[in-house]
Amino acid sequence: MSRLDSMLRRLAAQRDGLNWAAELLQGKPGDALDLGLGNGRTYDHLREILPDRRIWVIDRVLQCHPSYTPPEADLLLGEAEPMLRKLADTGARVLLAHYDFGQGIKEDDVAEAARLSPLIASVVEEGGIIISGQPLVGLEQITGPASIAKDRYLFYRA
């Protein structure tokens, strides 16, 4: 499979997974969390499908288009571990989290996701959904939407 086809598959899985989780959690109180703002595509989609929820964002640096920049009060810039601790200290009630950190080196990305898993679990409400491009540890893996190939995107319940 070409890198272009792989990317298209990943983005479709990401969109379908976010839409599925948003529908599943409809009517339940809580915020959303985007771990890895990047260029802001996912954040923009979350704003569209979750217009009444606060959307927290964590990333190392801000590098997205200005129209996709979260409000300053919702943007936690810095390394993930201290930013997740800072989010926990706010008392935020995260119901939906999307994990998209990574540098593209599979072994490093998997190790980072494993290291951050307990901190992610600490900020997501019981029953909340975590959608991830990397395997997380210590969380209950669940089956996502049928439109997504097994292991293309991963789904967890806190």
What pTM did the predictor assign? 0.94
| pLDDT at residue 105, rounded to an integer | 83
| CB burial of residue 109 (10 Å; 0-12, 13-18, 19+) | middle
| pLDDT at residue 149, rounded to an integer | 83
pLDDT in tens, 57-116: 999 999 999 999 999 999 999 999 999 999 999 999 999 999 998 877 889 989 999 999
| pLDDT at residue 10, rounded to an integer | 87
When the pLDDT of each residue in the chain is averaged and rounded to a whole number, the result is 94
| pLDDT at residue 67, rounded to an integer | 93
Pick the CATH number of 3-157 from 3.40.50.150, 3.40.50.720, 3.40.50.2300, 3.40.630.40: 3.40.50.150
